[in-house]
Amino acid sequence: MKRVAPSVTRRSLLAGASGVGLSALAGCSERFWSRAENTSPEQVELTIKTVPADDDAIAAMIMSQLRENLQAAGIDATHEPITEAELYRDVLIDGDYDVFVVKHPGIDEYDALHGLLHSQFVAERGWQNPFHFSDVGVDELLERQRTTDGDAREESLTELFDYLLETAPFTTVAYPDRIGGAQEQLSLSRPPRRAIEFVDILSQEFDDGPFDRPLEIGVYGEALTDRLNPLVVDRNRIQGLLGLLYDPLARRSTTDTHEPGEPATYEPWLAEQIEWDDDGGLTATVTLRDGLRWHDDERLDADDVAFTFRFIEDTSLGDVEGTVPAPRYRDRQTLLENTGRIEVIDDRTLELPFGSTGRPAAVRALSVPILPEHIWDPRSEVIAERQTRALVADNDEPVGSGLFEFGETSMDELVLEPFEDHVLRSADVPNRPSVLENFPQFEGIRYQIEPNVGAMLDSLADGAVDVTANAVPPDEVATITDASGVSTTTTSTTSFYMVGYNIHHPELGNPNVRQILSQLIDREYVVSEFFNGFAEEPTRSNELFGSRGQTHLDGTESTMPLSVFPGSDGEIDPERVRQLFVEVGYQYDDGALLK
Amino acid sequence: MTLVSVVFDLALVVATMLATATLVIVGPRQIAAAIRDARWRLEVCLLPLAVLALVLFIRWSTVDVVIRLERRVLGNNITPQLFELEQFLFPQNPVTVLQTFASPALTEFFVFVYIYGYAFLLLFPFIAYFALSNMDDLSTLILAFTANYAIGLTFYILFIAYGPRNFDPLLFEPLLYDVFPQSRSLTNQVNQNTNVFPSLHTSLSMTVFFLAWLTREKYPLWVPVSGVLAISVVVSTMYLGIHWFSDVVAGTMLALISVYIGRTYTVRGIHRSIRRYLDSRFGDRGSAGQQ
């Protein structure tokens, strides 16, 4: 026993030791294997793109709040400033983004949401569904509002906005007031942006007018005059300029206040008369004015109008398999049932077939700028994959049919000359738009281009500029008020700050996540602190989706939960937001939101 | 209109500063002597000056192409990385720290330094080294400036970066263009707001200061003057929210490299060695072909 005992002890000791060692190793290797086999969940990452503060300080501030709040919610949020033209390119053409903050020029009519959200446009460029959003429910409601009018349309719109509160493909932060400055003697009622608003100024009777000089308009920005192509989106531009050069069939009136179920009021422009017929599908018979000419003295006729709609649908004019639609005005073109069935009756008359489209939506097609066929037809040449010459042309000497023709441009100015042959310049044309009653009080228009807003306001104070036509940030209002002989004008607008989500991003594809993200901006704080009150918060469901409308839409009072900010004074309460994410199935590890 | 008045204003102020500094630091007699036999001095510097002019001309004539290449083809936006690097390295961003001292007087001073002081700092060495008995220092200065531009502009093509004021107006104040909006029409002529890494304001100013130190025996007074000005320019770029701390560090390194290049090489020498290299590679084949 004495002899055996120690050896057994030694053996058992060894066995025990190796057993422990092996099992320890086994435990270790299990963990090792499971780590190697399963990638551990990673933190959710989002990159927010917006313009640098030089281009839009408010957008940069909204981005800053969003970034801080996303980070507090455990998301690895980074921010990439990117110049305006490139941001449009990334978001509207390449779809290369996660989240973007941008000032949207505004939705003229509810039907514009059709272009923004209908899944038919997922593969298209421009403001046609840049989110890659597709939802059969939304599609159906978008189509229904398009084909109905009156109460039926109002009901489908209300239903649509209710539904959007849940799917949140994008969200609206605030509607900035349009702020501008003008020489006191002009006594303007609002700062102009749309072409018709500039025409309105030129038609005002002034005490010491009419003037034998051009109206001097102050704008600021980089590379504003590089591309004067009305069909492209990836460029900077002077608002309203192309609308002055290119006339549409009709322009939405400056005094329009229509009900959601009714068509908006339009002033006839190139069209002398438009007759609607609802027998077996909606058609509009358009009679053009007599004696219309392009700026290069060619005749403008009904073929140009038919061409414009065909060209917007396919800028290759059938040269490629499939189509190459224009990134702008594309949605309005789809209001027509079939561009191939536009019937040109004679030089001045044509019939636009709208099929099942209702009139409230259909009238939007009238505001598409009409392009000269003889200039744009050769630009249908295909120069690269899904790219035609029309989509890359600078169009640096635009030939339109507007009241003004392109004069000259340099780095710091752009001059529009009066187009004397325009039929609307004579007072006795039939059906002349009422806005032109005292037109013109100035000879032409001259844009003075400044490097930034401060320089633009200096020019205004010096008297070098009559009126400003670019956004004036709220904190610069005092600069205008302090200057003598100059007055501030403001008006509420339909343009809005938008936060858009790329549905192709794995997390942003989840509507619950988008819904939470849409809550992470304190809209009330943004309006009071960033805008100094010069903005309006969206307070109805339609307003949360960029659609203010001219009059109230019934049944849009409920804005839950998008309008609820889980925090105070711009900062979120991290616990509350984490709770929201946990409720929709997400997990946290050490404060980081996991995929 | 505004650009013309801004440039005129700048020319007037800087010319006054240059005249004063020339009289005090160089001395009237020395400068008069240098002007009398300007001819040989110019001849010596002609080649390096031509190269500098060529670099600036290439820069000026290719702006449109470069912007397209930089933004659309390469598109390396490193702004988020610069921001996060500094968040990681410092408890508080150096720009934020500097801006906590902001006061109207300080802002006026830094705006003055950023625009007028900088122009003076860059131009005065040309006069000072021109008045010396040989042109070595002037050639060094010109070559170092050329290197600064050539390397800096290459970085600008490779990387897009926005400065603090453009990145986040809530964290950083955009002081320069608030105080002096027209200065933008001037800086726009020279640069775009995507070109901040590295800071050429820093690198050129520090280049002048480093060279001042190397020529301290000839112009002892110029060392403290250029030192104070250069440091002020460097601080002003951050104080005014134009540059990140990283840009300034990269700019200082670029200055060191450029001064090294300026001291070690000459344009003539570089030209000769390139020719020798090309001759050895292709020279034989060329002559064989001719036979």
Q: Give the domain range for residue B258.
A: 2-273
> Do residues A235 and A114 share a domain?
no
Q: Mean of the per-residue pLDDT values for chain A?
A: 89
pLDDT of residue A98: 94
Say yes or no to pLDDT of A479 above 90.
no
> Do residues A254 and A383 share a domain?
yes
Cis check: omega of the bond before A440, within 30 degrees of 0? yes
What's the CA gap between A59 and A66, in Å, rounded?
Answer: 10
* Chain B positions in Cβ-Cβ contact with residue A529 (cut-off 8 Å): none
pLDDT of residue B184: 65
The stretch A5-14 carries a mean pLDDT of 56
Dihedral over alpha carbons A235, A60, B157, B196 (to 10 degrees): 140
The stretch B96-107 carries a mean pLDDT of 89
- Is A31 a domain residue? no
SS (H, E, C) B137-191: HHHHHHHHHHHHHHHHHHHHHHCECCCHHHHCCCCCCCHHHHHCCCHHHHHHHHC
What's the CA gap between A560 and A573, in Å, rounded?
Answer: 18
| Residue of B66, B88, B166 for testing the chain A interface, max A β-carbons within 10 Å | B166
| Residue of A69, A71, A82 for testing the chain B interface, max B β-carbons within 10 Å | A82
Say yes or no to pLDDT of A552 above 60.
yes
The stretch A584-589 carries a mean pLDDT of 91
pLDDT of residue B147: 93
- Quick check: A60 and B193 CB within 8 A? no
Q: Which of A272, A253, A287, A260 is nearest to A358 (CA)?
A: A260
> Do residues A89 and A169 share a domain?
yes
**A281: which 2 tokens?**
């599908």
- Is A37 a domain residue? no
- Is B78 a domain residue? yes
- Is B177 a domain residue? yes
Residue ranges of alpha helices (H) inside chain B are 2-21, 28-36, 38-61, 63-68, 79-89, 94-99, 104-112, 118-130, 136-158, 164-167, 175-179, 183-190, 200-214, 222-239, 245-264, 267-278, 284-290
- Is A24 a domain residue? no
> Do residues A560 and A476 share a domain?
no
Q: Give the domain range for residue A303.
A: 250-391
Q: How many CB atoms lie within 10 A of CB A275?
A: 10
> Do residues A480 and A516 share a domain?
no
What's the CA gap between A37 and A537, in Å, rounded?
Answer: 49
pLDDT of residue B288: 44
Q: Which of A353, A370, A391 is the last residue of a domain?
A: A391
- Quick check: B79 and A464 CB within 8 A? no
- Is A28 a domain residue? no
- Quick check: B166 and A54 CB within 8 A? yes
Of A53, A86, A453, the CB nearest to B169: A53
What is the total count of domains within chain B? Answer: 1
| Residue bearing the bigger pLDDT, A527 or B272 | A527
Lowest average pLDDT, out of A6-10, A329-333, B38-42, B81-85, goes to A6-10
CA distance B84 to chain A (A): 9
- Is A66 a domain residue? yes
What would the pLDDT profile of A29-77 be if each residue is shown by its tens digit?
A: 777 777 777 777 789 999 999 998 888 889 999 999 999 999 999 999 9
pLDDT of residue B39: 86
Helix, strand and coil percent figures for chain A, each rounded to 5: 35, 20, 45
> Do residues A513 and A532 share a domain?
yes
Say yes or no to pLDDT of B236 above 50.
yes
What would the pLDDT profile of A264-305 be if each residue is shown by its tens digit?
A: 999 999 999 999 999 889 999 999 999 999 999 999 999 999
**Burial status of residue A213 (CB atoms within 10 A of its CB: 0-12, 13-18, 19 or more):** exposed
- Is B6 a domain residue? yes
In the chain, the amino acid numbered A222 is E
Say yes or no to pLDDT of B278 above 80.
yes
In the chain, the amino acid numbered B31 is I
Q: Which of A365, A391, A417 is the last residue of a domain?
A: A391
Residue of B nearest to A55 (CA): B166
- Quick check: B167 and A60 CB within 8 A? yes
pLDDT of residue B287: 47
| Band (A4; pLDDT cuts 50, 70, 90) | very low
What's the CA gap between A267 and A366, in Å, rounded?
Answer: 10
ipTM: 0.80
Please, which residues have CB within 8 angstroms of residue A452's CB and are 6 or more apart in sequence?
A54, A220, B177, B181, B184
In the chain, the amino acid numbered B142 is I
What would the pLDDT profile of A397-432 be if each residue is shown by its tens digit?
A: 999 999 999 999 988 899 999 999 999 998 889 999
* Chain B positions in Cβ-Cβ contact with residue A412 (cut-off 8 Å): 1, 3
pLDDT of residue B43: 86
Say yes or no to pLDDT of A5 above 70.
no
Say yes or no to pLDDT of B95 above 80.
yes
What would the pLDDT profile of A67-112 be if each residue is shown by its tens digit?
A: 999 999 999 999 999 988 889 989 998 889 999 999 998 888 999 9
Q: How many CB atoms lie within 10 A of CB A219?
A: 23
In the DSSP assignment, the letter for residue A354 is E
What's the CA gap between A448 and A219, in Å, rounded?
Answer: 6
| Band (A225; pLDDT cuts 50, 70, 90) | confident
Phi and psi at A461, nearest 5°, equal: -65, -35
What is the total count of domains within chain A? Answer: 3
> Do residues A160 and A56 share a domain?
yes
What's the CA gap between B10 and B4, in Å, rounded?
Answer: 10
C-beta separation of A196 from A252 below 8 A = yes
pLDDT of residue B274: 86
**B94: which 2 tokens?**
């150096």
CA distance A61 to chain B (A): 6
| Residue A499, H or E segment | strand A496-501
The stretch A159-167 carries a mean pLDDT of 93
In the chain, the amino acid numbered A68 is E
- Is B282 a domain residue? no
What would the pLDDT profile of A510-528 be if each residue is shown by its tens digit?
A: 999 999 999 999 999 999 9
CA distance B4 to chain A (A): 12
What would the pLDDT profile of A230-259 be if each residue is shown by its tens digit?
A: 998 877 788 889 999 999 999 998 888 888
> Do residues A254 and A354 share a domain?
yes
Say yes or no to pLDDT of B114 above 60.
yes
pLDDT of residue B291: 38
What's the CA gap between B9 and B16, in Å, rounded?
Answer: 11
| Band (B1; pLDDT cuts 50, 70, 90) | very low
> Do residues A213 and A313 share a domain?
no
The stretch A465-492 carries a mean pLDDT of 88
> Do residues A166 and A210 share a domain?
no
| Residue A477, H or E segment | helix A477-482
The CATH code of the domain that includes A498 is 3.10.105
- Is B287 a domain residue? no
> Do residues A66 and A192 share a domain?
no
Q: Which of A245, A227, A242, A237 is nearest to A392 (CA)?
A: A227
- Is B74 a domain residue? yes
pLDDT of residue A2: 43
* Chain A positions in Cβ-Cβ contact with residue B167 (cut-off 8 Å): 52-53, 60, 79, 81
Of A53, A222, A455, the CB nearest to B166: A53
Q: Which of A397, A408, A401, A400 is nearest to A425 (CA)?
A: A401
